[in-house]
Structure 1
Amino acid sequence: MSPTVFNPIGTTALVTGASSGLGVGYAHELARRGADLVLTARRQEQLEGLAVELAEKYGTVSTVIPLDLAGPDAVAELVVDLETRRITVGTLVNNAGFGTYGAVIDSDPARETEQVALNVQSLTALTRALLPGLIRTARAQPGSAALVNLASTAAFQPVPQMAVYAATKAYVLSYTEALWYETRASGLKVTAICPGPVSTEFFAVAGRTTTAFRSMLTVDDVMRTSFAALDRASTPPHTVSGRRNALLAGIGGRLPHRLVVTAAGRLTRPTG
């Protein structure tokens, strides 16, 4: 296998939010490529079921750590747990996160605070804590280490009715691109994955059971985009999943900002 192809065999990858959706997709693809896994999310039963499935299908060893990363001490607890188990993380997939739907004035302040804590604060703290190990792995075994942060096409413009979510994803995009530059000489593959709407439980959790989106990406679509980016000799600082999404993200940056926000608001306005 070419050293420019992402090959995590013999390393350990940590996937947050691994109990469903994109987290399960990343766990499968990383296991298929030979990595052992650390799986973390709130739902222990789903994580344990996934660990068994990965072991049976790929022979992968998975460590299950049930944890709510939105908690104030959760990242510190996770890092101590990894150190106690003597696990060095070579790839980190910051997938955990959620959105809420509705006007800011009608929102639950505690829920919005939790959203910022999970989408921004825990991602930042976990990345900082594990970054030295990611870089050491990248230097010791070129092509084997990556940092993948889940952003969104919502990161490219404000999104009325999902104001906090879009703002958190704009942070993730900016933060990841800066890290891409800072670590570019280390060999660590860094990218922010920016999918459009994906057919997962995201919208149900957000509180929106119907959407104006005519089509959604599948988990497999996002996996293909993600690992195609990681397999490039020079992994891009961000990767948009879906050609139409990439086109819209690019066009949005060239249109008047007021027009872009208005269009986003019309797309996400309440129906019925």
Structure 2
Amino acid sequence: MPDPGTTVRSLLDDLRDEGDALDGLVAALPPDRWATATPAEGWTIADQIAHLHWTDGRALLSVQDPDRYTAELADAVAHLDTYVDDAAHEGGALPPGTLLERWRAGRARLLDVLADQPSGVRFPWYGPPMSTGAVATGRLMETWAHGEDVAQALGVRRAPTERLRHVARIGVRTRDFAFALHGRPAPAAEFRVELRSPGGELWTFGPEDAEQRVTGPALDFCLLAVQRRHRDDLALRADGPDAAEWLSIAQAFAGPPGKGRAPGGSSRTDAS
């Protein structure tokens, strides 16, 4: 789901920068701070980084050995309810220095491997197969989302960047997926989405004359799409009943329906 005007190289640069930004939040933390609880219930900062390391590894396996990836995913169905949590807690139990080193090495390896992929190839994932650009975009989205959890845990307010355009695009492109997750038919007509970027640019998606519309800050839309804030805490406007329904169920990440966050920023979510 990358922007058609974005090259894979620039996407990978943005993915690298997003990882480096989160690295900068945790690199100097004393070991005891890695055990700090995050807004994702039951997950510490260490669990968040371990999850990113693990999913980077799943992406690397999908690209390098898709048959093995598919077989491992089939085996996971037997314990799907705890599949993600178990991996996060296992990795989160590592010494922080070891975990940090492994996460850095894993994301660097993934960037190198993605840069070497030929155009047109697709790789299996938890949802539909993805292109190289879509893999990179998904990893950026998840790195940003879990970085938000870490920042909240540390009491840090991160300045949004133009890299959010990738997250926003996934949020828009997964509209029908979100409806399907909730057993609802997706609206037949496209929506118009107009988002104000951190730099003041207007990002637009969908036909200009669409009846159903969503408008507001890009940051707020991205926070909603990755279910890091409740809609009531965000400056998003929906015009039309279908658009309003979408904002109540929007979900940019794969997996079962997330519970989202309670109003006021408190947590009642898994850590997808």
On whether the aligned pair clears a TM of 0.5, the verdict is no
With normalisation by structure 2, the TM-score equals: 0.27
Pick the structure with more helix per residue: 2
Q: Which has the higher strand share?
A: 1
